[in-house]
A and B are shown apart, each in its own frame.
Chain A
Amino acid sequence: MTTGSETHGSPPMEIRGAVQAGIPIFIGYFPAAVAFGILAKGCSTSLLEAFMFSAVVFAGASQFIALNLLMTGMGPGGIILTTLLVNFRHFLMSAYLSTRLRNLARKTYFLLAFGVTDEVFSVLSFHKKALTPRFVFFLELSAWSGWVSGTVCGYVLGGFLPDILTQSMGVALYALLLAILMPALKTSRVTVFLAVLSAVLNTLLIWLDLFPAGWTIIVCILVVAFAGAMLTPGKKEVTCE
């Protein structure tokens, strides 16, 4: 939302800021990844495979779905297609982030694109300062560390977290998203309207069960962002350079 241009601290300060911003994501990812590790072991994958799932796919919901489909005996083609559908929403998230990360070296995009998850995208979206590759990278690394370390802990240690703690830590991700949105909600009625519209539409679409997993949210983003573009007074922003 904000395309601020406040000055940045020194590189160490910037890394510290990114890791701090990543702590809530870590807290939310870790217990979910522990659950994934436990489930993966239950599906008789090897530790290396469980690790690889989280380390190279790095997309929560689709990994759980893949395990479920494996157990039903679905072949790799079907699982990969499902993964594409479930994770395609990140295409829209990267499209937004590309407006905040312009004119970087190609290889920088290859690196930073890997870590675009729902939560990383959300934190970056409402980060007030201009985004730098260093900040984005270390935020993604914090999130990735939580996901991968949780997976390995879950696989090796099993259900070592009390169930109540796992459940309550799961709330962290939703609280994070709400906390990120609060400043915009307080200052703009249009934002309140759009956020509520998105929530209601998503609930309705899931209830109607018309779309494959992952696509209700794509429909929500397309419809609500279109409404947002119509409702936002057209200030002539210069988007190039």
Chain B
Amino acid sequence: MNDTLIPLILGMAAVTYIPRLLPFLLLNRLRIPHKVNAFLKAIPVAAIGALIVPGVLTATPDMPAAALAGMGFTLIYGMFRGGIIVPVLGAVGISWLMLALAG
């Protein structure tokens, strides 16, 4: 590959950035009908389930159970306590422990 990749990278940047930008410019001052708003408000929950599954099953390719055990900790911790840092670091720690013990 002797050719520079910079034009390709800029092209990729443009087609990534424009869909990220357009909704802000289009919807910013628009009066949003109630039903459309209800749809937009439901997007986060709709997205997160799909962002987690099935990706998490291949997060620790050597041993999928390690990622699942980590997620189990996050789930159980989250039932009783709030916060983000402890459930995230705990999940990483448990996954690491399981991979280390198995390895």
Contact = CB atoms under 8 A, between A and B. Distances in A.
Interface of A: 1, 20-21, 23-24, 27, 43-45, 49, 52-53, 56-59, 62-63, 66, 70, 76, 79-81, 83-84, 87-99, 101-104, 106, 109-110, 112-114, 116, 118, 121-122, 125-126, 163-165, 167-186, 191, 194-203, 206, 216-217, 220-221, 223-229, 232, 234, 236-237, 239-240
A171 B59 contact: yes
A87 B50 contact: no
A80 B12 contact: yes
Given A23-B85, A195-B45, 17 more contacts: A24-B85, A49-B6, A58-B13, A76-B7, A92-B43, A96-B43, A112-B24, A113-B24, A125-B48, A171-B66, A172-B88, A174-B56, A181-B48, A182-B82, A185-B78, A200-B53, A239-B34
Interface residues of B, number: 78
A172 B91 contact: yes
A199 B44 contact: no
B84 A167 contact: no
A226 B34 contact: no
Contact of B62 (A92, A167, A203): A167
